[in-house]
A = this chain, B = another copy of it.
Amino acid sequence: MSVNSPGTGAKRVRLSPADRREQLITLGVRMLREKALHDISVGDIAERAGISRGLLFHYFPTLQEFQLAVVRHANAEMLARTTPDHTLPLPEMLRDAVCRYVDYVSDNRTSYLALLRGPASADPDLAALVDATRGAVADRVLDAAPITLDDADLPRLRLAVRGWIAFAEETTLSWLRTATVSRDQLIDLLVESLPALAGHPELTAALGG
């Protein structure tokens, strides 16, 4: 290893390009747990990965591209952690997914808060990714709901579900900050609020409301 090898004596491992890219993104997501996206510098990432800034830019020609990849990965992780378990009856499926959402947000509070409320939330490209993730969650809810796609009430229901997602994000982030209610009370609120907001008789009945 040359005397110019970057930084810290981190062990250098020869990775395939795809693996190196993956490693850098995973590192970025992990760093997001400690600092906001916009506080992560190119130098930080290169040092933690034990590679040169030049090599980092080989994989991500701009910091913006790296940020987009990290946010895409963080969103995918949230969606993976909260995948509905379709073997459960509908009311339990909802409660189970909500529990895992609350745990995901608790485990990733810094990064989740940064994505939803930090400077990234105002960057149009990053905001579009977060918005697409909300759309994916809304689709999951509407797919699981006992309604047909030509339901005349679908536009109103879609709007209500989007609103419910904003409700869930706000109450969960607020709960993390203030802890004025217990985790169980928060989960009850999130589970009960979906049929309450949807105001759709079949959905309410299917959720046992």
Contacts and interface: CB of A to CB of B under 8 A. Distances in A.
Interface of A: 117-122, 127, 155-156, 158-160, 162-171, 174-175, 178, 180-181, 185-186, 189, 192-193, 196-197, 199
A33 to B, nearest CB: 19
Contacts of A193: 160, 163, 196-197, 199
A189 B163 CA distance: 10
17 contacts: A118-B122, A119-B122, A120-B122, A121-B121, A159-B171, A159-B178, A159-B180, A159-B189, A160-B189, A162-B170, A163-B168, A163-B170, A163-B193, A167-B167, A167-B170, A193-B197, A196-B197
Copy tally for this chain in the complex stands at 2
Given A121-B121, A199-B192, A167 B156 contact: no
B199 A199 contact: no
A164 to B, nearest CB: 7
Contact of A196 (B119, B121, B199): B199
A169 B171 contact: no
A81 B100 CA distance: 40
A147 B117 CA distance: 32
A127 B122 contact: no
A189 to B, nearest CB: 6
Contacts of A163: 167-168, 170-171, 174, 189, 193
A174 B162 CA distance: 8
Contacts of A199: 189, 192-193, 196
Q: Which 7 A-B pairs have the closest CB atoms?
A: A166-B170, A196-B196, A155-B180, A163-B171, A163-B167, A119-B122, A167-B167
